[in-house]
Amino acid sequence: MIDVALKLGVSDGRRRFDLDVAIASTAPVLALYGPSGAGKSLVLRAMAGLLRPQAGHVRVAGRTLFDSASGTDLPPRERGLGCMFQSYALFPHLNVRQNVAFGLTAWNRGLSQADAAVVDELIASFGLTAMAGSRPGTLSGGQQQRVALARALACKPQALLLDEPFAALNPALREQLRGELAAARARWAIPAVLVTHDVDDVLALADRVCVIDGGQVVREIDCRGGDNAQRLRARLYGLDDT
Give the model confidence (pLDDT) of 154-182 as tens digits: 888 999 999 988 877 777 788 888 888 88
Sheet with 29-33, strands from edge to edge, namely 81-84, 159-163, 192-196, 29-33, 208-213, 216-222
Q: Over the stretch 193-207, which tens digit does the pLDDT of each residue have?
A: 999 988 888 888 999
C-beta atoms surrounding 191 within 10 Å: 20
Torsion sign across C-alpha atoms 39, 51, 205, 126: positive
| DSSP single-letter state for residue 75 | -
> Which is the CATH superfamily of the domain at 1-75+196-242?
P-loop containing nucleotide triphosphate hydrolases (3.40.50.300)
Q: Do 205 and 29 meet the contact criterion of CB atoms below 8 Å apart?
A: yes
Residue 91 has pLDDT above 70, yes or no: yes
What would the mean pLDDT of 19-41 be, rounded to a whole number? 93
Q: For residues 189 and 82, what is the distance between their CA atoms, to the nearest angstrom?
A: 13
Helices 141-154 and 171-188: angle between axes, nearest 10 degrees: 20
What's the whole-model pTM score? Answer: 0.86
What would the mean pLDDT of 33-49 be, rounded to a whole number? 92
What would the mean pLDDT of 71-77 be, rounded to a whole number? 94
Residue 191 has pLDDT above 70, yes or no: yes
Measured CA distances, 125 to 86, 115, 151, 158, 160 (Å): 22, 15, 12, 20, 18
Beta-carbon contacts of residue 172 (< 8 Å; ≥ 6 apart): none
What would the mean pLDDT of 31-50 be, rounded to a whole number? 92
What would the mean pLDDT of 225-242 be, rounded to a whole number? 67
pLDDT averaged over every residue in the chain: 87
pLDDT for the residue 145: 85
Q: For residues 76 and 79, what is the distance between their CA atoms, to the nearest angstrom?
A: 5
Task: Tell me the three state secondary structure of residue 195.
Answer: strand
Q: Strands, E, within 128-240: which ranges?
A: 159-163, 192-196, 208-213, 216-222
